[in-house]
Chain A
Amino acid sequence: MAISYLKNWEEFRDQELIKATLLLEQLGFSLDTKQVHISGERYLTGNRKLVLLGFRNSDQKPVVMKVSSDPAIISEIEDERRSRNILKEINFAYHIFSFPPEILYTHKQGCVIFITEFIEQEMTFLERPLAEQFFIALKAFEAQEAIHATTYEHANIIKKVFGIFTAQIYLEKIKEYSRDIEIVFQDDKNLKGVLDRAHEFIANNLETIDIYSNFLTHWDFVPHNFRVWGSEIYLLDHAALRFGNKYESWARFINFMTLYNEKLEQALLSYVKNNRDQSEYLSLRLMRVFRLVEIIWYYTNTLVKAVGDLHTLNQKRIIFWTKVLESVLADQPVSRNIVEEYKRIRDNLRSPEEKERQKKLH
């Protein structure tokens, strides 16, 4: 069954790529020879969309092209574009991110094609010095926190475009994720215990989650979803924007840094602890727990699709993120031995295509 997922994706990708290449050529764009974003572990997302790199023929300008003929993905790309436009327009979005300029948006032969400028960066986020990483992250978080949709007028605008997550919705999601995970890992008592504690932690602190809700938040705020050029932060993925708890983007970012940059993880946690209200730090932990349960759920769902080493790797990922979840619930840093051991296993199990895809990604 898992092999058919991979095969289906490869068939879809190859057919779609032939069609897209012709369409893009007609529109005056060419593709780069190497396309890293349609290989490696990409098939696991089940997302029937091609993200392609190339250039505009007239001036060789590098571009990013999103192409899909799948009705659900067409609607997702349309929503993403609408989000970009709304954020530019709404008058309470005083401090907003920069967006890669739109070059073309069109529907052609049943496909949607959305082309934006490729934003260069002097170096990847993780190659920057720690202080720069810290301040870029804070600038991005403050930009999101500046957009608080609490008034009647604001709510009316955003309801039409972005989703709104309340404490109750976070709780329902945790229940749903835990249920799905427990079906797959019926005999894993430790995992069940951790998930129960996560659920209890969220359920007991709904008021705190709600206090810091209604803020613009990017639930997939990680270095590969933004680029930095000069003093500007360019947001690349607008589909992951919603109004929810303001620490959701912090949580995703800090959980990511648990794996990629412990010093930045600790610096950000320490900053919140020492400069903000205690309930804000609690809110951050609540969101970290939420995002961790979600990532465990995500990898649990991939087990039916993943093949070979990737299947083994995703099992290891579930174990690793469960340990991180336990640490956050205990408000303790995760042991570095656990992180380093996981990284070693991950690097052994990753495919060459995925290793190539990961290069210069963060």
Chain B
Amino acid sequence: MSSFSIDYWYSLGHNIFMKIIVATPLYPPEGERIAVYSRQLAKNLGAKHQVTVLTYGYKIEPINNLQVVVIDKTKPLPIRLFNYAKSLLALAKSHDLIYVQNAGAIGLPAILVKYLSRKPVIINFFEDEAFKRAFHQSLTDQPLEVFLKHPPANAKIKRIIKVQGWVLRHASLITVSSEYLAKLLSENYKVSPEKIVVNHLAEDREEKLPLPVLKNRHQILASGPLLDSSGLDKIIQAVAKLKEKFADIQLIITGQGQKKKQLMGLVQKLKLDSNVKFLGRVSQAENWYLLKTSSVYVHNFSGWDQNDQITRSLLAKTSVLAQDNVLNQEILSKNSSGLLFSATKPEDLVSQLDKILTVESLGEGLTVRASQNLVDNFSWEFHLNNLNSIFSSLLKK
């Protein structure tokens, strides 16, 4: 985890003391990103504000001086929902506002408490729970954008979408991690765009490895899921074209998915068996190791990437080459910290990739600007500054 000086942050004038509830469905020892984020957020906010975390769980990882209220997850769903709402209402009486992580599992009790307590409820749309569930249960192999327009015919998924929509429309404010996601939300969940505020997530997912890490000059990393929307076939084809120039070129593909057989078939057809490796699902540590040892991370997703692999590449100081679309422009263009290629011109991907693999100084320049981009847009300072402004603006009303 990267750290920063809370005192410095407050010296900038962010000194309004608030009593904040961080309401989350998950908290460590759960290992999901939302759980880890909730803990780090509470810890950072708690340095100057009064913070109470409310979470489902069983037993949780304790942190000094941080109050965490745990709602027993081993009870049946209606009872846990009721208990969560009851505790949230009780806490709301002694707090200024409620910051809710996700609109699904805890959004419903949070909105009920909003009306009963008249305290502002801000929903942090961390991820789309309906999409996540459908994706893991193989009910969809489409990207979020298509999923929201054409959800699968599954009653439970449709119910979650409905609940999420209702929660989002009734929230005092919604925070999202990108302008792209803000637009998606507004269009698909019929939420007023004025109610949505962009606050990029802090990128701090660094892994400390007990192994030597050396850059492989001609190693390229691409990540799945192995689906059409990840555009991996185009990357494989680009590698085939560059093989003549770079005999030792290596493309590492991580992730699982239904298109694995087709992609492996393509690799065979292009006689790239010794140049392309499919590693399947990899651990957090291995993902980090691959980012650190690759010269470039190529990202050809046509839509939203739930793993935010681009920002993680920036943190690993690895050059990024991404499809030229609204989302990637938003992440990379602010500081020109990555290269973009046209999705409709395969030769563009080949020439950009060629450039990165040939001109070493190009990568060095990109990673310097990437570091600045992280500080400016994806740091905890930036994230907390925004949150502070959002919270303060609501309390002044």
Contacts and interface: CB of A to CB of B under 8 A. Distances in A.
Interface of A: 91, 94-95, 130-131, 134-135, 138-139, 141-142, 145-146, 148, 150-153, 155, 207, 210-214, 230-232, 246, 266-267, 270-271, 274-275, 277, 279-280
Contacts of A267: 210-211
A176 B282 CA distance: 39
Contacts of B208: 271, 274-275
**Would you call the interface of chain B mostly helix, strand, loop, or mixed?**
loop
B247 interface: no
Contacts of A210: 58-59
Contact of A151 (B29, B73, B210, B285): B73
A211 B31 CA distance: 13
B75 A152 contact: yes
B80 A152 contact: yes
Contacts of B76: 152
A232 B285 contact: no
B77 interface: yes
Contacts of A266: 210
A146 B281 CA distance: 13
Given A211-B59, A211-B60, A231-B278, A271 B285 contact: yes
Closest 3 CB pairs of A and B: A231-B280, A138-B283, A274-B208
Contacts of B60: 211
7 contacts: A142-B31, A152-B75, A155-B74, A213-B59, A231-B278, A231-B281, A267-B211
Contact of A271 (B59, B74, B209, B281): B209
A214 B62 CA distance: 17
Contact of B77 (A94, A135, A152, A207): A152
Residue of B30, B74, B137, B278 ringed by the most chain A CB atoms within 10 A: B74
Interface string B344-372: 00000000000000000000000000000
A146 B58 contact: no
Contacts of B210: 134, 266-267, 270-271, 274
Interface of B: 28-31, 57-62, 73-77, 80, 136-137, 207-211, 278-286, 289
A180 B274 CA distance: 56
A146 B31 contact: yes
B290 to A, nearest CB: 9
A131 B283 contact: no
A148 B32 CA distance: 11
A232 B280 contact: yes
B211 A130 contact: yes
Nearest to B137: A91
B311 to A, nearest CB: 19
Contacts of A271: 208-210, 285
Contacts of A213: 59
A65 to B, nearest CB: 28
Contacts of B28: 277
A139 B286 contact: yes
A230 B283 CA distance: 15
Nearest to A92: B136
A168 B279 CA distance: 40
A347 B100 CA distance: 60
B140 to A, nearest CB: 14
Contact of B285 (A130, A138, A150): A138
A141 to B, nearest CB: 8
Contact of B58 (A214, A231, A279): A214
B58 A150 contact: yes
Given A151-B74, A155-B74, A231-B278, A139 B283 contact: yes
B134 to A, nearest CB: 12
A139 B209 contact: no
Contact of A211 (B29, B284, B286): B29
A80 B247 CA distance: 48
Given A135-B289, A151-B73, A152-B76, A142 B283 contact: yes
